[in-house]
Structure 1
Amino acid sequence: MTKHLEYTQKTKDLIDGLKTVCSNYGLANSGNEYKIITEVFLYKFLNDKFLHEARKANKDLKNSTNIETDIQKMSNSDYEWMLEKIGERSAKLQKHHFISYLFNKQNEPNFHELFDKTLLEIADLNIKLYSVSTIDKERVRLFDRISPYIIESNQKTPFCKAIINKLVAFSFEPIFEEKYDFFSTIFEYLIKDYNKDSGQYAEYYTPPAVAKIMAKILVPEPTRNVTVYDPAAGSGSLLLALAHQIGENKCTIYSQDISQKSSEFLRLNLILNNLVHSLHNVIKGNTLTNPYHVNDAKNDLKKFDYIVSNPPFKMDFSDDRETLASDQHRKRFFAGVPSVPKKKKESMAIYQLFIQHILYSLNDKGKAAIVVPTGFCTEKAAIALAIRKKIVDSNWLHAVVQMPPNIFATTGTNVSVIFIDKSKTRDTAILVDASKLGTKVKDGKNQKTLLSNEDEKRIIDTIKGYRQLDDFSVIVNNEQMKQKAYSFGAGQYFETKIEYVELSPEEFEERINEFKNKISFYFNNSRELEIQILKNFNKLDYKKNNK
């Protein structure tokens, strides 16, 4: 077993162990379980990351076999000097914040108070770098107390003891040189039970295959010093895939999401993937009514180099509908704002507003990839049509990929990905129908489709190579799309092929007779079936009338 696989399993075992503790204390499937699991996991990660950086900052610790004990022996001045050398490569911890320190104190009375105090002190010590913000600039701290989630007073200390004993099982130190592939797997496993679609913006998790395809098509060549944005970021899977494709040290991430839980997940994801420098750009708030990120002159929204998003498709935003349709937002929502349905307010097509917001938020050479319901690609309703018209007439459409059904296990809606490129010069776009790719598997009660590495490669290579393949991809120009009501559906542009078979007069006559005989057979059978059905109905009527 390789180190990668070994530590993947150890990390998953740790996560499962923490979930077991929560279950044993009655917190399984509660609204608070995710906060406990993610906070405690992050505490473990930051503790081990600090030790990892301490070895680099102090040569005397480089080969230490008991590094936490050796650190405890350091003078206060030497310790402070080491903190200076570590800088922002890790969260700052004091000597009494280490997991080993708490482990050794676990038998003291009211241990839970010490545990809570430790978490709060770490959060306060690192509030500038490791907090995320609300739209009103309030800081969402790194940690909160965990013992208050236990109602029974006499169970608070045993609960915290059980947690601390799980955290000393192994060290993360050997995996800090691992990259995105390792941590994306761990992150997905960590949040899989807590990241269900709750009706708020993009809380559900975008499949890694879709995220990878979007990133590789958006960034086919190396780039640097660019800005990346997601206005409905959810847990950040699309942002992280794109940042990895660009290079984590070559881009700055910006995000906004209405969900506090999503913002906390995104913070965890950024920390795991060495993107702490972008944490102050993670904003909790309503992107549509109160977009947070503005330009330096403070007179318009900030414009970004890359935008990726999997926005919510339908949602009740009737309370904000008139605000969004006002003159204040008219420039951004150029195609209009969906009306409020009389019966099903929750079916309002909110994704159409996000598409417009994304187009407005791209800079003059910006690129975007947006997950949309496949129906949007051919819908003739006014707003959808106006958005597609704007994209085509502006010559921004680079590609469209229709994904297989059930690519998202949490929704039965078929999805497509639209790729926008404002720097495009040619007047054509490539449309791909990948709906027949993938393998269907069961995911709990749901069925989902998994794309293989070969499937992913086929989609990516087809678009990057601008290849036209029978019944899979087609290259169309803007004029062709205008003639088909600005349709983005690949199937509408595929050539209709008729297979011609040469037949002699005798063979033709034989085929015609075969068809005639089959038709006669079907008609005779249908008459007999009709007579039998009528007889059965007559019997039923007779029994009913004679009861």
Structure 2
Amino acid sequence: MPTEEKQKNQQSELHKRLWDIANDLRGNMEAIEFKNYILGLIFYRFLSDNLESKVNEILSEDNITYEDAWNNLDVQKELSENLLNKGGIGYIIEPKYLWKKMINLIKTNKFLIQILQDAINKLSNSILGKDSEEDFINLFEDMDLDSSKLGKYEEDKTKLISKVMLNIDDIDFEMHNVEIDVLGDAYEFLISKFASTAGKKAGEFYTPQQVSKLIAKIVTASKKELKNVYDPTCGSGSLLLRVAKESKKIGKFYGQEMVSTTFNLARMNMLLHHIPFDRFNIVNNDTLEHPSKDHLKMRFDAVVANPPYSAKWSADQKFLDDERFSAYGKLAPKSKADYAFVQHMIYLLDDNGTMAVVLPHGVLFRGGSEAVIRKYLIKNKNYLDAVIGLPANLFYGTQIPTCILVFKKCKTNDNVLFIDASREFDSGKNQNILTDENIEKIFKTYLERKDVDKYAHCATLKEIEENEYNLNIPRYVDTFEEEPEIDIHEVLANIKKLEEEKNSLDKEIEVYLKELGIIEK
């Protein structure tokens, strides 16, 4: 089954289930709030199932249950060390707080919401002072089980959360399948369904899997084994995860995300896709204004991003002394940080690495400081490798067409490939969709770097210079379709024939009207 069809089927079922759960909650709170409960409980279920699997693996030769092992203090200590130390999962859920145990309590009417709160508190305490603390701390801070919005009394809260947990227990999340970003997709769905109340646009933190797939294929094309990958605006982490799918091996994942809720989502997503806590480092802060000091010391094999389009930033003059921006002599304008993200990413790109970033079309032709930065990247450095125009309406929250810019520091050519893929897509209900065939065509064209009529052109640096470093795709890829030649004599003959037929019909109608007495004979 093609990827896009598989995704549609899975998403359709997931969305139906999520909608049922959302309807249980929506009378009590807005979407921006209840999504936190749904995603938090999905994540707790995963952590519980994951721990159970790991414990069974550790105890497989001891012929002892997790419960019995936990009741033996010596075995409990050894088991805890295995779970918390390097190579383990980084957290502990006690046997009585396992997801399936709580589901059984719900089914036998013995569950209380305080049990779930105790479970989360115990899990949170288990990571304190451990190597995994940075990756697990505050993951459940957005799920407030004391909120009056869950109900006035504890009994009401218990009843509502129990219903949500039972619904979640019935969902097959296909956690093993990296093609499907469960949390990212669930997040996008919940936000898009209630966009008017959510406030934040999903497009700012969630990159559709098909777009992620294309970007991942590009950055792994020349190097399948990566020592690391970095996303400065990682959102739900979907781009990082997609790179993992396309590569044979990745040493470590790095990212930064400004919004704390989305930062939590990214860490959850890493763990959900079985990325051990010691193999990812995601930071919660503004990438441009307050980049991670640890990240700035590094250089990355692959750099990917779908930053917020034309976001505002300070553009403070102090950044002219910042190594990320100083060589250009100009800063991106305050009202449009697109090139600030590009400069930041270029700085962290390894000499032999590949960078791919999704941006609005304005970056291709806008003037002012952006034109200066664009010219420096092309003329002075020859870093720009490709410009790929994507269809409009691919991302939730914006219908504008976007493009992918590909950069390499050590190019072996003196040209830039332009691809116009804006007209090839499947129309979805809410968004357009890139099919597997669309992606393969773009990727094949990118690898071959040959002209394709009305689709791609490999432009020399001289051509780009002649266009004054304006990268607007129609300047390089001619998609004009000639209209068929019109035979004016044939058109006039047809008009004359139609007029004769009209006159004949008018006379016939006049006869009928006279016979009916409608007009005088």
Coarse TM-score class (shorter-chain normalised): 0.7 to 0.9
Which residue does 1:336 correspond to in 2? Answer: 330
Q: Distance in 1 between matches of 2:13 and 2:200?
A: 33
Which residue does 1:470 correspond to in 2? Answer: 453
Give the letter aligned to residue 282 of structure 2: V
Which residue does 1:427 correspond to in 2? Answer: 414
Say yes or no: does 1:45 pair with 2:43.
no
Which residue does 1:310 correspond to in 2? Answer: 306
The two structures have a TM-score, normalised by structure 2, of 0.79
Q: Distance in 2 between matches of 1:233 and 1:460?
A: 23
Say yes or no: does 1:481 pair with 2:468.
no
- Asked if the contact 1:391/1:397 (under 8 Å) is kept, the reply is yes
Of the candidates 363, 367, 371, which is equivalent to residue 385 of structure 1? 371
Matched residue SS, 2:26: helix
Question: CA 1:339–1:9 in structure 2 vs 1: closer, same or farther (change >3 Å)?
Answer: closer
**1:162, distance to aligned residue in structure 2 (A):** 4.1
Which residue does 1:321 correspond to in 2? Answer: 315
Question: CA 1:335–1:37 in structure 2 vs 1: closer, same or farther (change >3 Å)?
Answer: farther
Query: Which sections of structure 1, spanning at least 5 residues, go unmatched?
Result: 134-138, 341-347, 502-507, 522-547
Deviations 1:387-433 (A, max 9, x none): 22122221222211101121224212221101111121111221100
Which residue does 1:437 correspond to in 2? Answer: 424
Which residue does 2:29 correspond to in 1? Answer: 27
Which residue does 2:382 correspond to in 1? Answer: 395
**1:351, distance to aligned residue in structure 2 (A):** 1.2
| Greater relative contact order (Cα < 8 A, sep 6+) | 2
**1:434, distance to aligned residue in structure 2 (A):** 0.7
Q: Distance in 1 between matches of 2:15 and 2:62?
A: 29
Q: Distance in 2 between matches of 1:378 and 1:194?
A: 32
> Where do 1:233-252 residues align within 5 Å?
233-247=234-248, 250-252=250-252
- Asked if the contact 1:289/1:324 (under 8 Å) is kept, the reply is no
- Asked if the contact 1:206/1:237 (under 8 Å) is kept, the reply is yes
Deviations 1:338-374 (A, max 9, x none): 455xxxxxxx112121111111221222211011111
Which residue does 1:142 correspond to in 2? Answer: 139
- Asked if the contact 2:386/2:416 (under 8 Å) is kept, the reply is yes
The two structures have a TM-score, normalised by structure 1, of 0.75
Which residue does 1:353 correspond to in 2? Answer: 340
Of the candidates 166, 179, 182, which is equivalent to residue 181 of structure 1? 179
Matched residue SS, 2:229: strand
Query: Which sections of structure 2, spanning at least 5 residues, go unmatched?
Result: 497-521
Which residue does 1:371 correspond to in 2? Answer: 358
> Where do 1:63-462 residues align within 5 Å?
75-86=72-83, 88-90=87-89, 91-103=91-103, 111-127=112-128, 128=130, 131-132=133-134, 140-144=137-141, 146-151=144-149, 154-164=152-162, 166-167=164-165, 178-182=176-180, 184-185=181-182, 187-194=184-191, 198=199, 203-247=204-248, 250-277=250-277, 281-294=281-294, 301-317=297-313, 320-322=314-316, 325=319, 327-328=321-322, 331-332=325-326, 334=328, 336-339=330-333, 348-379=335-366, 381-393=367-379, 394-443=381-430, 448-462=431-445
- Asked if the contact 1:111/1:160 (under 8 Å) is kept, the reply is yes
Q: Distance in 1 between matches of 2:126 and 2:36?
A: 20
Higher mean alpha-carbon deviation, 33-42 vs 140-149, is at 140-149
Give the letter aligned to residue 97 of structure 1: Y
Deviations 1:116-151 (A, max 9, x none): 121111022135455557xxxxx8422246322235
**1:156, distance to aligned residue in structure 2 (A):** 3.0
Matched residue SS, 1:228: strand
**1:474, distance to aligned residue in structure 2 (A):** 0.8
Give the letter aligned to residue 336 of structure 1: K
Give the letter aligned to residue 328 of structure 2: F
Give the letter aligned to residue 347 of structure 2: Y
Which residue does 1:54 correspond to in 2? Answer: 55
Question: CA 1:496–1:309 in structure 2 vs 1: closer, same or farther (change >3 Å)?
Answer: closer
Question: CA 1:458–1:350 in structure 2 vs 1: closer, same or farther (change >3 Å)?
Answer: same
Deviations 1:504-539 (A, max 9, x none): xxxx9x968789x79xx9xxxxxxxxxxxxxxxxxx
Q: Distance in 1 between matches of 2:152 and 2:478?
A: 73
Q: Distance in 2 between matches of 1:411 and 1:7?
A: 24
Give the letter aligned to residue 264 of structure 1: N
- Asked if the contact 1:99/1:167 (under 8 Å) is kept, the reply is no
Higher mean alpha-carbon deviation, 49-58 vs 186-195, is at 186-195
Give the letter aligned to residue 99 of structure 1: W
RMSD: 4.0
Higher mean alpha-carbon deviation, 486-495 vs 470-479, is at 486-495
**1:302, distance to aligned residue in structure 2 (A):** 2.8
Deviations 1:251-284 (A, max 9, x none): 3111112111210111121111122336762111
Q: Distance in 1 between matches of 2:376 and 2:182?
A: 38
Matched residue SS, 1:286: coil
- Asked if the contact 1:49/1:173 (under 8 Å) is kept, the reply is no
Matched residue SS, 1:32: helix
